[in-house]
Amino acid sequence: MNPTTPLLRIENLEKHFPVQKNFFEQLQLHNGRIRRIRQLVHAVNGVSLTIDRGETLALVGESGCGKSTLAKTIIGLHAPTSGTIWYGDEEIGGLNRSQRRRFQQRIQIVFQDPFSSLNPRKKVMEIVGRPMIVHGIARGKAVEQKVLDLLAKVGLDPAYATRYPHQFSGGQRQRIGIARALACGPDLVIADEPISALDVSIQAQILNLMMDLQDEFSLTYLFVSHDLSVVKHISTRVAVMYLGYIVETADTDKIFAGPNHPYTQLLFSAIPTLDDLEFKETSAMEGEVPTPIDLPPGCPFHPRCPHVMARCKTHRPALRQIRSGWKSACHLNDTAPATAP
């Protein structure tokens, strides 16, 4: 792989889900007649994104914005509706199961809920050892030794290998989940809200572990989260999602210093911090996240935007470069020409 090629490149990725799953659910009574309706959830809408080797890209947004769907589409748990996913120089979005296997080893995922993502009937040894056997990394005794090493790396007593998931706390289970993700030596680890189910004092332990492991194994992270203080701490670059669109991407330092997109501004102003103990009333008392079934025309954020203009209601702004390494999808940037940083 050419070292300048991004590790992962997504182009125009779309993922839609049918609301009515089968023919009978599509039938609805309307004015005394039976009608067939087919609605779609537009979870991911034309997302283009690159992830460079060694970086931590944070994907942030509120629930329902499509960030988890995007993560699951990258790892192959959903097939893309359209668009391409490139791993290095190879397109992996359109591969079938057996073709994908090679890449599954390179991309792994850590799930949000440490209680439902581990098989309750398997011992830790089997849970963590399984990916090694499946991908032919180790066999027999060698698997055991590797699992014990991995457990030590994620801060668990290797003696726990013979226990079942229910014998562990949430934080410990998430460590097992991380060990499983690392079992086949991935390059890219997708972490889908890895700490949001954990208590505050345990969150810091897991974040520290993830940062340590990144250094030790030269990992690249795609970190999906709605918690901006966590994102600010761990990420090197941020992509903000709203209603299935990426509305802004920039380096973490820059975006937290002065977000460009009105949605990013609203999102950032809404998080309580300890920097200032005065309660700040929100400026946007009205407005809710629209449903991804009926997307608003034009800019997805225009019904809530304080700066809405006529053109926002009809034309969707493209995600375009406003400064070096900084992209935003907002018509406000059309009038103000891009300035040098």
Partner 1 sequence: MNDSADRVLEVENLKTHFFTRKGVVEAVAGVSFSLDRGRILGLVGESGAGKSITGFSILGLIDPPGRIVDGQIRFMGENLLDKSEAQLEKIRGNRISMVFQDPQTSLDPVFTVGYQIIETLRIHRSMSTAEGRQRAVALLRMVGIPSPENRLDEYPHQFSGGMRQRVIIAIAMATDPELIIADEPTTALDVTIQAQVLTLMRRLVLDKGTAMILITHDIALVGQFCDTICVMYAGRLVERGSKTQVIRTPSHPYTQGLIGSIPGSQSRRKRLQQIPGMMPNLVDMPEGCPFLDRCSLKDAECTTRPHLAEIAPGHFVACHRRRVP
CB 36 within 8 A of CB 27: yes
Nearer Cβ to partner 1, position 149 or 212? 212
Q: How far is the CB of 183 from partner 1 (least distance, A)?
A: 24
Nearer Cβ to partner 1, position 48 or 291? 291
End-to-end CA distance of the chain: 32
Nearer Cβ to partner 1, position 102 or 280? 280
Q: How far is the CB of 135 from partner 1 (least distance, A)?
A: 31
Alpha helix stretches (DSSP H) within the chain: 23-26, 67-75, 97-104, 124-134, 141-153, 170-182, 200-217, 228-234, 252-257, 262-269, 332-335
Q: How far is the CB of 281 from partner 1 (least distance, A)?
A: 5
CB 241 within 8 A of CB 301: no
CB 47 within 8 A of CB 84: no
* Token couple for 108: 């792994």
Helix, strand, or coil (residue 163): coil
Q: How far is the CB of 24 from partner 1 (least distance, A)?
A: 21
| Cross-strand pairs, 34 | 29
CB 214 within 8 A of CB 221: yes
Nearer Cβ to partner 1, position 74 or 156? 156
Angle at which helix 124-134 crosses helix 170-182, to 10 degrees, equals 20
Q: How far is the CB of 171 from partner 1 (least distance, A)?
A: 7
Q: How far is the CB of 314 from partner 1 (least distance, A)?
A: 24
CA dist 151 → 124, 184, 190, 218 (Å): 9, 14, 19, 18
Contacts 24+ apart (CB under 8 A), 268-275: 268/228, 271/228, 271/229, 273/229
- Residues within the interface to partner 1 (CB under 8 A): 62-63, 169, 171, 199-205, 207-208, 211-212, 226, 228-230, 232-234, 236, 252-253, 266-267, 269-282, 284-286, 288-289
Nearer Cβ to partner 1, position 180 or 232? 232
Q: How far is the CB of 4 from partner 1 (least distance, A)?
A: 24
* Token couple for 326: 């900084």
Question: At 57, which helix (H) or strand (E)?
Answer: strand 56-60
- What sign results for the dihedral spanned by CA atoms 224, 170, 203, 64? positive
Q: How far is the CB of 324 from partner 1 (least distance, A)?
A: 20
Nearer Cβ to partner 1, position 56 or 260? 56
